[in-house]
Amino acid sequence: MKKLLIISPSFPPVNAADMQRVRQSLPYFESTGWKPTVVAVDPGRIEMAQDEILLKTIPAGSEIHHVDAFPVGLTRKFGLGNLGIRSLWYYYKWGKQNLKKNSFDLVYFSTTMFTVIVLGRIWKKKYRIPFVVDMQDPWRNDYYLKFKPAERPKKFWFDYKLNSKLEAWTMPHADGLISVAPGYIETLRERYPALKSVPALTLTFGASDIDFKVLDSVNILNRYFRKGENINIVYVGVTPPPMAYTIRALFKSVSDNRIKDELINRIRFFFLGTSYAPRHLARETVMPLAKEFGIEDIVFEEVVRLPYFETLTVIKDADFAIIPGTRDADYTASKLFPYILAKINILAVFHGNSNVSKIIDSLSAGDYITFTDESVDELSLKITPKLKEIISRLPFQPQTNWDNFNQYKADFKAREQSKLFEQVLENRQKKN
């Protein structure tokens, strides 16, 4: 049995999006020949929603270690709240104490707390352990370079310069790449030619049957709406600035048709968990758009991330889910598969080159609208007939092709990751 060290700063009971790949794969790694050890940050040091029920999805006997992190109350005085920065020293200490006496075959970084990934290069040099990076988002993100300085996120230049230097120092030494979108891998290989020869895998997040079995065993109240009173449309997840484009188009469609269409007038939107920040720092991003189109009376936004199983409860109760995309063709939706397993209607609005529409199409799992360079007004006109069509057939359950769905389940995804790990070791043996 090969030994796999997984670095995932966020881990249950913390409900963070970037730990889902590891959490869902953990029950299946041993059956593929890999014994996993997870090193996460002490949940008490993380400012994010927690859900104790998530611990029910972790296999009994799993080896989980926790490291400390500098208190956010201290580091924020210096403008630093990032978990990767706060925990880096403690991860380094853990490696110094454990990697020499524990002969791990591979280190797997699966996180968007990118700073800790620099340890991959350090540990590789010191302990001769290869490392694989799961690139769920861009580390060095060039997206905002095309925006005016006033339109960029706060502290953009600090983050951009730091991430650029750390990525350039670390990534050329990676032994394998996994990514949710092929474009992330292509970009990294263009920047760092050394990566062209390492194994790479495009792999969406998986769908976990275990989650819905656990959900059926607990009783969780939906605090937001009652089934049947209105047409309840749910989106669960962060709404970054680039997503404003599709949300604007959606809201304009509803605003333009409310008066003349009674069914559309019954719509109620619930955008839940729209920020990663704790409540005292989070800011509404959806309500300003709703006010822009005069529909704030039918839109509800909860900025704080909900406990995971509460989100599944809300999703199951919804009439359908909206999944807004961005103009980035590589942007994908990790929450797509929970929506599908919940067996509710889906309306995805994504770039034509994104894999989201292709997945939905192959599974007959919902509806989608694609765009390329349309204006908000033009996209709105595309949304309106699809919105009316979905509403007119409620109540309705998609006739999902569950045979095709097997390739998106968590056990299949775990096997694919393990195959890449094996390729990394084979390549290393050839070099030695």
Contact between 11 and 37 (Cβ < 8 Å): no
Q: What is the pLDDT of residue 193?
A: 97
- CA dist 230 and 232 (Å) reads 6
* Token pair for 183: 């474009």
CATH superfamily of 209-405: Glycogen Phosphorylase B; (3.40.50.2000)
Q: What is the pLDDT of residue 79?
A: 62
Which residues of the chain are under the pLDDT cut of 50?
none
* Amino acid symbol at 329: A
- CA dist 413 and 430 (Å) reads 26
Domain residue ranges of the chain, discontinuous segments joined by +? 2-206+409-431, 209-405
Domains 2-206+409-431 and 209-405 agree in fold: yes
* Amino acid symbol at 110: S
Say which DSSP state 424 is in. Answer: H
Q: What is the pLDDT of residue 299?
A: 96
CATH number for the segment(s) 2-206+409-431? 3.40.50.2000
Which pLDDT tens digit goes with each residue over 9-24?
Answer: 999 999 998 999 999 9
Q: What is the dihedral of CA 352, 354, 356, 357, to 10 degrees?
A: 20
* Token pair for 266: 């019954």
Contact between 248 and 256 (Cβ < 8 Å): no
Contact between 160 and 128 (Cβ < 8 Å): no
Q: At a CB cut-off of 8 Å and minimum separation 6, what does 118 contact?
A: 88, 166, 169, 170
- CA dist 118 and 136 (Å) reads 16
Q: What is the pLDDT of residue 15?
A: 92
Is the alpha carbon torsion for 257, 259, 265, 268 positive or negative?
positive
